[in-house]
Amino acid sequence: MNLLAVFSASFFLVISVSAAGLKEEFAWTRLSYAWPSNGQRVQRQIKGQLKGYESGSVNYEANKDTQSIVFEEPDNFGGNGIGVRPRPENQQAGASGNVDGSIDYQYENNIPMGANVWRNKLFITVPRRRLGVPSTLNYVRLDSSNRYNVPLIPYPNWNINIYPDTSGAGQNFVSVYRVAVDACDRLWFIDTGLVEIPGNATQVRPTTLVIIDLNTDQVIHSYVIPADQLRTATQLASLTIDIDKTACGDAYAYIPDLGGYGLIVYSLRENRSWRITHNYFYLEPTAGEFFISGHNFQWNDGVFSVELTAPKRDGYRTLYFHSMAGTHMYKVSTRILRNETLATRSYHENDFRNVGDRGTQSQTSCADIHKPSGVMFLGLVNQNALACWNTNLPLSSISSVQRDDRKMIYPCDVKVHNDNIYVLTNAMPEFLYGRLNYDEVNFRVWSNTVEGAIQGTACSSTTSSSNGGNRAENNGPNYN
């Protein structure tokens, strides 16, 4: 049974609805990887001491200068502590090839943050929030017969994902949070260039927008975000692409800065970007309290993700946006954002509009819109739930698609691909404030068709139109 929350000012009432919900596609207790064919085991130096391991025929002294994988894994992945050989079935030389340099792997530091789909690839990103992340950009095959602890395959290869970068070129991917796939078969993402070691964050390379041709697996374009468009607290954790598949060279990327409270717009045709400021990009002071997985904490994340409708009559789209530490929904026309003069003026009059308040406990991480129907899906982190909203209807018509306080802890990414919805949950608050049990499933990818997910909710109303209309403004939530 799925649940629907109806909120008042001080409490919410949970009632049942008959939505089809989501199905579990992939599950991981911990992340492992399709190790390259020439990986070797070596000793790891921990707290100033070399830990010796049982290494079979591999002798550390004989191999310490060779290309190698450094491991730290528990028993049920094949060893008794530190220094575990990857299982043969996890090696995929054909897909991953050989590797130039060492691979540092600490399973406890690998937390998936983003998911997206192109053809038979399900992309999974693992930002380097700690050391020991072997590869930040990866995928698994959607048609894989293995749906449990399936190894991640670095994309497009191992060498470009290695950290530290021993090639000398300085072009390796450092840390990717989420990716976007456009209508021209290209993968877009921000490489933050930052290794986020607690207390010692290190900027390894400039913050860079990267585009990969998915048909050739080649990086075809990169653009360094100008330093004057970044702030001390900048965090670029998602992006959304505005494109017509008949004009692949005229794309725009909208990049929210959740820590610096701004929006960066990039024009591919002009190969330049500009930064937009507005009060709606900030956190909402009364909505920064979170209670997830038994942990109370306070976050100050501002504008977190942006969502695009289908084009309107004037040829532009409506861009919806929201803060993570917030419960309101806002919108602006891309006619304003794509025009640097209009976008960067100091006073915006009514260009930016407040759609309404979704209600208490409705803080949202990522969201996405199914453009043919105008249905938006929202990851409600404070409820461990996925919600939907038909943008042709008042905001009060938001419905619950699925909620699960045990299996859906922290929906961190939400993506619509064609007519399917994909959701990644990663138990992030437990990773930050508690301790994950790596003998239980911690990370899941959920999916369904859009039609199936919203069945029985207000989002499936036959009154929806095909262009994601603008009749959504209201002054309060109703969640029915």
Beta bridge mates, 339: none
pLDDT in tens, 416-441: 999 999 999 999 999 999 999 999 99
HSE (side-chain half, CA atoms, 13 Å) at 180: 29
Residue 275 in any domain: the answer is yes
- pLDDT, position 166: 77
Residue 58 in any domain: the answer is no
Q: What is the DSSP letter of 66?
A: S
Mean pLDDT of 68-76: 45
Position 61 confidence tier, pLDDT thresholds 50, 70, 90: very low
Beta bridge mates, 42: none
Assess whether pLDDT exceeds 50 at residue 81: no
Assess whether pLDDT exceeds 80 at residue 77: no
- pLDDT, position 63: 34
Number of domains observed in the structure of the chain: 1
Residue 352 in any domain: the answer is yes
- pLDDT, position 62: 34
Give me the DSSP letters along 305-360: EEEE----TTS--EEEEEESS--EEEEEEHHHHTSHHHHT-S--TTSSEEEEE--T
Residue 66 in any domain: the answer is no
Position 98 confidence tier, pLDDT thresholds 50, 70, 90: low
Residue 196 in any domain: the answer is yes
First to last CA, the chain: 15
We report the CATH number of the domain holding residue 28 as 2.120.10.30
Assess whether pLDDT exceeds 80 at residue 65: no
pLDDT in tens, 378-391: 999 999 999 999 99
pLDDT in tens, 294-318: 999 999 999 999 999 999 999 999 9
Q: Is 410 left (phi over 0), alpha (psi -120 to 50) or beta?
A: left
Residue 344 in any domain: the answer is yes
Neighbours of 61 (CB within 10 A): 7
pLDDT in tens, 276-299: 999 999 999 999 999 999 999 999
- pLDDT, position 96: 44
Assess whether pLDDT exceeds 60 at residue 56: no
Structural domain boundaries enclosing 287: 2-39+86-460
Assess whether pLDDT exceeds 50 at residue 200: yes
Residue 125 in any domain: the answer is yes
pLDDT in tens, 238-263: 999 999 999 999 999 999 999 999 99
Assess whether pLDDT exceeds 90 at residue 266: yes
Give me the DSSP letters along 193-245: -EE--TT--EE-S--EEEEEETTTTEEEEEEEPPGGG--TT------EEE--T
Assess whether pLDDT exceeds 90 at residue 359: yes
Residue 53 in any domain: the answer is no
Q: What share of the chain is helix, strand, coil (3-state, %, to 5)?
A: 10, 35, 50
